[in-house]
Structure 1
Amino acid sequence: MAFQAGVLNIGGFMACHRFVSHVTGFATFFGYELTQPHGSAFGMLATPLFFLLGAMLSGYLVDIRLKLHKKPKYYISFGLIFFLITAVLIGGVGGYFGTFGEPFGASRDYALLMMLCLSCGIQNGTITTVSKSVVRTTHLTGITTDLGIGLMRFLNRHSLGDNYNDETKPNLMRIGIIFFFGLGSVVGGFAFSKFNYFGFAIPVLTSGILFALMLYFQVFRRPATA
């Protein structure tokens, strides 16, 4: 999932010069656009709302159902991500989003950003719920902070004594998330540079595999009978 987020983030940036997998950049652009005589501050404020909407959809499909002791609908969450990214791929290749890498500003650029933000919000919300708010896969700020704290705890484990909780596995997980997000950015950078919108075929493939797995295990697979 971190690999997929890295690909989506670099894809959104190279397509229309905006990052899509975290909200921080939009808050910065919102402040900047407010200072410009013909800025688009409203668009910069409205776009991350789709990340919020995605997180809310995930909350309804996964978090609320878990709290009600019902089966979470992971397959719908992953299905929405798959179909959104597929729509981005088809729209980009079909010319709906204009020329790849053109200057940002057209209304179609906002449509692209909103679809990518929505899919990232669903992904982040789902993984956050599953990991009990420990793991986020669409941005690295929190993970890097946790890694720094975890490394210091590990290095001072002897002096902490009974107050030390083993940080080995959590730190390895954090390093893995950072690595695969970076790997996704690198792979995406090469793919989008060479194939333009066809680069979105990579997250279509990864999200499609996850969707198929969730659909199989949650819908089609029947529990074994004695």
Structure 2
Amino acid sequence: MFRHQGKNRTFKHNLRLASNLSLIAGIVNSVGVLAIGTLTTNVTGHFAYFSEEFITGRYSNAVPYILYILFFFLGAFVSNSFIEIAAIRKKKYLHTTPMFLELFLLVFVGFWNYWNFKNTADTNQIAYLLLFAMGLQNALVTKISQSTVRTTHLTGLFTDLGIEISQFIFYRNHPNTPKLKKNIFLKLSIVFFFFTGCISGTLLFYQIGLKTLLLAAILIAIVLTMDNLIFYYNFTLRKLRRKTPVK
């Protein structure tokens, strides 16, 4: 689901990508809100908070909101930079570095209370790291799926879903209806798994706190492992078929 690009990508690849990574984003979303009271999977709301603090003259309070936006942007920038470097060097695994970096950040924040930082009350640091991690993921998913899949926020998704369901009602006999059905199913899957991640993340947070992020990190490790196993299984199968003589 990570390796296939362009015409080689299928609906099944995008569905696997969407369901797995939206589940992870849902967990991060719930942990960010419950642990530090901050949105950590998107930056839309932070523009409004920044504007309020800036207009009322509380400039020092406005700075973190700009940094929230900047760290999400930097995550996306770094993610795509790694992908472009890997593409230039003709590496097969374009997704490896961004995904491992995201995994590392989630583990790091998951053990935040064990690092004995001098100013552990400053929750902005947690927000910066989680927003950077979600910027990494969002850029990776967008790049691989050619903007078909988004996993870290649902605003644009619900807009597209509303349009496509309306089109399905009015144009049921249209030649593009099968493709439209797939698009609707893909988006509903993202919504379902994002909410599942939020619910499971909330339940776990009340039990183990920030260590809930370790579940998201474990899921990334499982996704990467399964993707490798599926790839090598299919590769081996194709190789064996070529060697088998046709009767």
Please say whether Structure 1 and Structure 2 have the same fold, judged by a TM-score greater than 0.5: yes
Show the counterpart of 1:74.
95
* Contact 1:75–1:215, Cα closer than 8 Å, also in 2: no
Show the counterpart of 2:193.
180
Cα gap change, 1:158/1:205 in structure 2, threshold over 3 Å: closer, same or farther?
Answer: closer
The letter for the 1-side match of 2:69 is: P
Deviates more, 1:137-146 or 1:40-49: 40-49
Show the counterpart of 2:213.
200
Cα gap change, 1:192/1:207 in structure 2, threshold over 3 Å: closer, same or farther?
Answer: same
- Aligned with 2:147: secondary structure? coil
* Contact 1:75–1:214, Cα closer than 8 Å, also in 2: no
Out of 55, 61, 68, the position equivalent to 1:47 is: 68
Work out the percentage of aligned pairs sharing the same amino acid.
27
The letter for the 2-side match of 1:172 is: F
Q: Give distance in 2, aligned partners of 1:46 and 1:76.
A: 23
- Scaled by the length of structure 1, the TM-score of the pair is 0.83
Show the counterpart of 2:8.
none
The number of residues matched between the two structures is: 216
The letter for the 2-side match of 1:17 is: G
Cα gap change, 1:143/1:180 in structure 2, threshold over 3 Å: closer, same or farther?
Answer: same
The offset of 1:135, in angstroms, is: 1.1
Show the counterpart of 1:133.
147
Cα gap change, 1:190/1:59 in structure 2, threshold over 3 Å: closer, same or farther?
Answer: same
| Runs of 4 or more above 6 Å deviation | 215-218
Cα gap change, 1:193/1:112 in structure 2, threshold over 3 Å: closer, same or farther?
Answer: same
The offset of 1:4, in angstroms, is: 0.7
Show the counterpart of 2:165.
151
* Contact 1:74–1:214, Cα closer than 8 Å, also in 2: no
Out of 31, 38, 46, the position equivalent to 1:26 is: 46
Out of 113, 121, 128, the position equivalent to 2:135 is: 121
Larger CA Rg, structure 1 vs 2: 2
The offset of 1:217, in angstroms, is: 7.7
Q: Give distance in 2, aligned partners of 1:132 and 1:169.
A: 16
* Contact 2:138–2:152, Cα closer than 8 Å, also in 1: yes
- Aligned with 1:137: secondary structure? coil
* Contact 1:93–1:198, Cα closer than 8 Å, also in 2: no
Cα gap change, 1:65/1:94 in structure 2, threshold over 3 Å: closer, same or farther?
Answer: closer
Cα gap change, 1:163/1:97 in structure 2, threshold over 3 Å: closer, same or farther?
Answer: farther
C-alpha distance after superposition, 1:109-156 (max 9, x if no partner): 121111101110010001101111121100001111111111011111
* Contact 1:63–1:129, Cα closer than 8 Å, also in 2: no
- Scaled by the length of structure 2, the TM-score of the pair is 0.76
Q: Give distance in 1, aligned partners of 2:106 and 2:151.
A: 17
Q: CA RMSD in A?
A: 2.8
Q: Give distance in 2, aligned partners of 1:190 and 1:58.
A: 30
Q: Give distance in 2, aligned partners of 1:155 and 1:67.
A: 45
Show the counterpart of 1:102.
none
Out of 61, 65, 68, the position equivalent to 2:82 is: 61
